[in-house]
Structure 1
Amino acid sequence: MATILEALTLALDLHLAGRFGEAQELYTRILDAEPEQPDALHYLGVLAGQIGQGDFGLTLIGKAIALRPEAADIHANRANLLRGLDRLDEAEAGYRRAIALRPDFAEAWTDRAFARHGRGDASAVDVSADLLERALRIDPALEPAREKLVALLHARGRLRLETGQVTPALADLIRAASLDPQDADIAFLLGNALFAAGLRADSVIAFRNALALVPDFLSAALNLGIALAATNRPDAALAPLHHAVRIDPAHPAARETLALALRSLGRAADADALTVPSAEPAPVRKAAGKRPFPRRPRRS
């Protein structure tokens, strides 16, 4: 006959494999044999929450905590059930208890951030971001913490940039880009923030990164051309601007900006060809005077 430990190990394996019915039956049999087996109470409570029986799960985990009050993981899982029931204040209290018992509990810091963000009050994003940073200091490889922090910083950086808070937006987007260097939109927004902060050469690098990640990213190609022109490289600006027009030949901003770049280099005839529909021949006309190049990148 299997021992309690062997039965519990098998039940947990079934549970982790998603075979909830079999796991539930085995946990129940363990509790029939040993009604105060704390691990069986704990894991059966977690399973109950996973199958939509959160209140029953809280009862089971409450019994487990009474038997093992210093077990941080049991407190954290109870808080997870409370969060699933939208009892966010109680959930946060549970995560705080788990963290007090185990300060290096990175998952509890992460789950507390999720609960805090779910409350949606004015400080939710700032507090949640700080909690996630704490989790990543403990465990830099913790993927849920990284993904959530990237999403928060991305959204907050965009909002700050759109409302003229350039310096804090820059801090958010630099951190987000370091956490997820493969996100083209973050690279693009970082380029916009760098340009707005007067760091034109650095913005060129960010726009190049965005375009390398998504070659048909029209706004990145357009803003790369503008940034190159702003760093006194009008010849270099032509390539990304031509690319922007190739991506969308009818895009007015792309055509207009390329035309301005061509005029700034004295290529008025080439610029004139961009100011008429491509299906019609360009009329012969005198070269117009130079128009100022765009001073700011275009927004996505």
Structure 2
Amino acid sequence: MRSRSAAVLGLLSLLLAGLLAWPAAVRADPGTAAGSLPDLFERALTASREGRFGDALPLWDQVVERSPQDASAWSNRGNVRLAMGDPQGAIADQDRAIALEPTSGDPHLNRGTAEEALGLWSEAAADYRWILERDPLDASALYNLGNVEGSQGDWGEARRCFEAAVAARPGFAMARSSAALAAFQLGETAAAEKQLRDLIRRYPLFADARAGLTALLWRRGARGEAESHWAAASGLDPRYRQQEWLLQIRRWPPVPVQALAQFLALTP
């Protein structure tokens, strides 16, 4: 089972993307001697987006104390609690946000990431499917559901989810790379190679696609070209050297991870 801290670190980009801006109630707050609620909300939001979670958490505590009916504040605080290694607390905050705004998809998406951090795959999938029942083209929910399916070993369904995320948001590069890696896992290497090459042409500095193509080229015996792509990938992001990071945080399928590990074992 992957470590809780590793899982949390792997979700930071999703958490930052899931931060919610001021609700109307905060904008209308007249303020107190301690400062206006909009100012406090903005300071908490800025600290969260900058990754200063230790500063952000007490600010969100103050926001929810002053505005306990503010679902966005509860959801944002939940994201910060998850980033600080408290997925149970994060789920509790997202539960509160959902109770306050039952029709909002954001707390469901954020709760799903916290459930993933605990390996609660069925619960996370249920949250993502709740969103997709209401908005079948929600790219974030589709992508997250793909990660859940892959984590349970169903790479065919994971690929379908990743490809649906790409169709919903064509510029979603990580979803494109994940779909290609799922195809690699399923033995469809020609399709995977084409997708990865297309990605690299469009995003030359995209380390994930470079590393994935390295693994695929090594597996089919093109060592020279594999080394060329690896030089670029490893310079862009050295984490691709770490099998545990690939499997547990980035969540590559096992076949590409094994191929890259074999390449690295024979590469200085």
- For this structure pair, what is the TM-score category when the shorter chain's length is used for normalisation? 0.5 to 0.7
Equivalent residue runs for 1:217-236 within 5 Å = none
Alpha-carbon distance in 2 for matches of 1:67, 1:48: 19
CA contact under 8 A between 1:70 and 1:101: conserved in structure 2? no
Q: Residue type of the partner of 2:195?
A: R
**Which residue, out of 188, 210, 234, partners 2:225?**
210
Equivalent residue runs for 1:238-257 within 5 Å = none
Cα distance, 1:7 vs. partner? 1.9
Which residue does 1:143 correspond to in 2? 173
Higher RCO (CA-CA < 8 Å; seq separation 6+): 2
CA contact under 8 A between 2:180 and 2:192: conserved in structure 1? no
Deviation readout 1:133-174 (Å, 9 max, x if unpaired): 111112222233133223222333xxx3xxxxxxx4433433
Percent identity, aligned pairs only, is: 21
Cα distance, 1:103 vs. partner? 2.7
Which residue does 1:62 correspond to in 2? 95
Q: Say yes or no: does 1:19 pair with 2:52.
A: yes
Which residue does 2:20 correspond to in 1? none
Alpha-carbon distance in 1 for matches of 2:86, 2:215: 40
C-alpha RMSD over aligned residues? 2.8
Alpha-carbon distance in 2 for matches of 1:92, 1:47: 21
CA contact under 8 A between 2:215 and 2:226: conserved in structure 1? no
**Which residue, out of 155, 158, 179, partners 1:128?**
158
Cα distance, 1:185 vs. partner? 4.8
> Which ranges of 4 or more aligned residues in structure 1 deviate by more than 6 Å?
none
Alpha-carbon distance in 2 for matches of 1:34, 1:185: 51
Larger radius of gyration: 1
Equivalenced residues, count? 188
Which residue does 2:193 correspond to in 1? 173
**Which residue, out of 51, 56, 78, partners 2:84?**
51
Q: Residues 184, 9 of structure 1: CA spacing in aligned structure 2 closer, same or farther, 3 A cutoff?
A: same
Cα distance, 1:215 vs. partner? 11
Alpha-carbon distance in 1 for matches of 2:99, 2:93: 10
SS of corresponding position for 1:35: coil
Which residue does 1:267 correspond to in 2? none
Which residue does 1:112 correspond to in 2? 145
Q: Residue type of the partner of 2:89?
A: F
Cα distance, 1:101 vs. partner? 2.8
Q: Say yes or no: does 1:76 pair with 2:109.
A: yes
Alpha-carbon distance in 2 for matches of 1:177, 1:214: 11
Q: Residues 154, 133 of structure 1: CA spacing in aligned structure 2 closer, same or farther, 3 A cutoff?
A: same
Equivalent residue runs for 1:22-37 within 5 Å = 22-37=55-70
Q: Residue type of the partner of 2:161?
A: L
Q: Could you tell me which runs of 5 or more consecutive residues in structure 1 were left unpaired when the two chains were aligned.
A: 161-167, 193-206, 217-300
CA contact under 8 A between 1:106 and 1:136: conserved in structure 2? yes
CA contact under 8 A between 1:154 and 1:176: conserved in structure 2? no
Cα distance, 1:213 vs. partner? 4.2
TM-score (norm 1): 0.56
Cα distance, 1:49 vs. partner? 1.4
Cα distance, 1:212 vs. partner? 9.8
SS of corresponding position for 1:136: helix
Alpha-carbon distance in 2 for matches of 1:9, 1:112: 31
TM-score (norm 2): 0.62
Q: Say yes or no: does 1:39 pair with 2:69.
A: no
CA contact under 8 A between 1:65 and 1:75: conserved in structure 2? yes
Q: Could you tell me which runs of 5 or more consecutive residues in structure 2 were left unpaired when the two chains were aligned.
A: 1-30, 202-209, 232-268
